Structure 1
């Protein structure tokens, strides 16, 4: 049975397609859960499926060796996991791992390549816009990790995750948050505690709840708004 168009449009890439462009994709899409910790793609290994998140957060991780893993970008419902296939690469250079559980629409890489054969078609156009937004995210993330404090970056990440989840409450472990912020777990505990003491969040047993979004946003670095504006502009471009 083909995926319902309304469900598909919850992903921004698919949501940017008109009815005629979306319809041929629906029979080749499958809804799939995204459990926390699931590895979707490994560096150097062929991509079998691409994923268009509906809910949840997937991290793109760089393994620096000596047990050092750093997040370089995150992907939610605004994008696609497996952009390397669109760019013509046989395999990604980084690992893609589910950080916040959710669900996605998946498609085999073989079917996906057939659908993007028309390089000037509407799907390819939306993927170019999504890739532009992702590149902005990666470059801004690198600068953010270099300049801004762990507290500022944590606030940014929590706000972005809430946007992608359509909820102020979501699951997140200290281990994953440490990877995202490129800090030790002890530093994560200190940051989470300080944001909780300031009345921004509660954090209990891996469950974060944003209780005062404006206050949390006041602690976030400027990268939150910059990335959000760039993503919205790229996906809305005509």
Structure 2
């Protein structure tokens, strides 16, 4: 399989790298298709492989199967496994698994760390990315504490919408309830309310975003902070 070229990758973090830093990683990047619910990083085990997301979404969750709650998500803006490796923590207690099927570029821990050690600019860029991930987790905690289910769901849909092509999200009510830590019936009722207000259109296993501004109005400022920080620190906007 041909090696990915920087001009053709979809991952925004890879595209933001200096050409010489991308070249350090390029020989070690391997394209992989990933499927919904596929585990990417297991909790409490050494992280041996990292993943630049090209398409799809990876969820970061805390807790066990019966009480799992999402604390972060990674799409084509990011790198799965960045924090434990870059911060020399070796592993994470959180499960990382595929929320929306797609494609990733995988790289082994050793060549990744070699590239980071060889370039201060690359290390600085990736640590800035970890900073945005930490802000996303903090905003998620704020949303869970300060918002009702409608606001939390609106924020979550906006974040997913940012990470896919088009306006349709492939999601079940069961999955949404697990990610938000609420009962399925509450999710169903809230989706009906959002649809009635013209914010979304709910279909079987799919949700179509109709009006982002109406959704954002429900989030009370909890959406947009990590996104703006990413644009400032990673893309210089």
TM-score normalised to structure 2 length: 0.92
- Name the residue aligned to 2:85: 85
Structure 2 matches for 1:39-188, cutoff 5 A?
39-63=39-63, 65=64, 67-83=66-82, 84-118=84-118, 120-188=119-187
2-structure distance, mates of 1:7, 1:61? 30
2-structure distance, mates of 1:66, 1:218? 32
- Name the residue aligned to 2:188: 189
Give the drift of 1:66. 8.0
Report if the CA contact (8 A) 1:156-1:217 is conserved: yes
Report if the CA contact (8 A) 2:21-2:115 is conserved: no
What do the CA deviations read for 1:92-135 (whole angstroms, capped 9, x no partner)? 121001112222111112221221123x5222111111000001
2-structure distance, mates of 1:66, 1:48? 23
- Name the residue aligned to 2:26: 26
Give the drift of 1:141. 0.8
Does the C-alpha gap of structure 1 residues 46 and 115 become closer, same or farther in structure 2, counting only changes over 3 Å? Answer: same
- Name the residue aligned to 1:35: 35
2-structure distance, mates of 1:5, 1:237? 18
What do the CA deviations read for 1:188-212 (whole angstroms, capped 9, x no partner)? 1111111111121122221111122
Q: Which runs of 5+ in 2 are unaligned?
A: none
2-structure distance, mates of 1:143, 1:217? 15
- Name the residue aligned to 2:7: 6
Give the drift of 1:217. 2.5
1-structure distance, mates of 2:102, 2:191? 23
3-state DSSP class of the match of 1:209?
A: strand
Report if the CA contact (8 A) 2:36-2:101 is conserved: yes
1-structure distance, mates of 2:173, 2:3? 38
2-structure distance, mates of 1:25, 1:224? 32
3-state DSSP class of the match of 2:234?
A: helix
Q: Establish whether residue 220 from structure 1 lines up as the match of residue 219 from structure 2.
A: yes
2-structure distance, mates of 1:154, 1:12? 25
* Segment of structure 1 superposing worse, 214-223 or 106-115: 214-223
Over the aligned positions, Cα root-mean-square deviation in angstroms equals: 1.8
Report if the CA contact (8 A) 1:101-1:171 is conserved: no
1-structure distance, mates of 2:225, 2:18? 28
Report if the CA contact (8 A) 1:144-1:223 is conserved: yes
3-state DSSP class of the match of 1:13?
A: helix
Q: Which runs of 5+ in 1 are unaligned?
A: none
* Segment of structure 1 superposing worse, 52-61 or 128-137: 52-61
Moved over 4 A (4+): none
Report if the CA contact (8 A) 2:133-2:226 is conserved: no
Q: How many residues align?
A: 235
